[in-house]
Amino acid sequence: MGDHGEVDLVIFDCDGVLVDSEPIVSRVLADRMRHLGIQITDQECATAFAGLDQAAAARLIADRLGDAVPTGWFDSLTVAVDTALRAEVAPVPGVAALLQQLRVPFCVASNGRPEKVALTLGVCGLAPYFEGRIFTAAEVAHGKPAPDLFLLAASRMGVPPARCVVVEDSESGVVAARSAGMRVLRYAPDGSTSGSVRTFGDLAELPSLLGLADTNNSISVRADSR
């Protein structure tokens, strides 16, 4: 990744990178879709809806149903998802240790609903690390895979896109980061790979991939990180 001076901002996706929310959301969503008569497994749901914002997910559900979704269905889904997340969501292993040490400026850019992002980060005890530095698709015209959200985050943080590194787990996020002119690392704890994108399976690897670890395995200190 080059020397650490080339990295002025790390942009984290939220679901699947900071919080282990995706299996929970996929399970609830798949169950609700099956009640609509859509035949889909939890895993198929996870694959099809990974990284989509709410509007894109709604369009996909309507397409699969072949009809308008019943009035109130999405409101009911939101309540069910948030209830399950509040009870079950946990941080991704190693994320707290990473954030406690990371001194390069960092932020969150998520396709998730603002309320959902706030809920999961809060339940997992990660919200204080990102105070004032949480950006969601609700703030832009187009969520990922469009580059809008990452470009917004970089602009608000005052960093040129070329000096940003995005940490993502979804293909839509990878596409968005590349379209924004940013470098991207894909977090894949299951060991999967995705084309030419550099993947890694343990957040403890991230500092060295960013070029921020020193010879004592600590993380380079930047005074402007908080």
Residues with a catalytic annotation lie at 13
State both tokens at 170: 């979804």
Inter-residue contact 197 to 205 (CB < 8 Å)? no
Looking at residue 35, what DSSP letter applies?
A: H
Peptide bond just before 207 cis, omega within 30 deg: no
State both tokens at 205: 């690897």
Helix, strand, or coil (residue 116): helix
Of 72, 49, 48, 53, nearest to 143 (Cα)?
53
Rounded Cα distance between 158 and 27, Å, is: 38
Looking at residue 145, what DSSP letter applies?
A: T
Inter-residue contact 165 to 173 (CB < 8 Å)? no
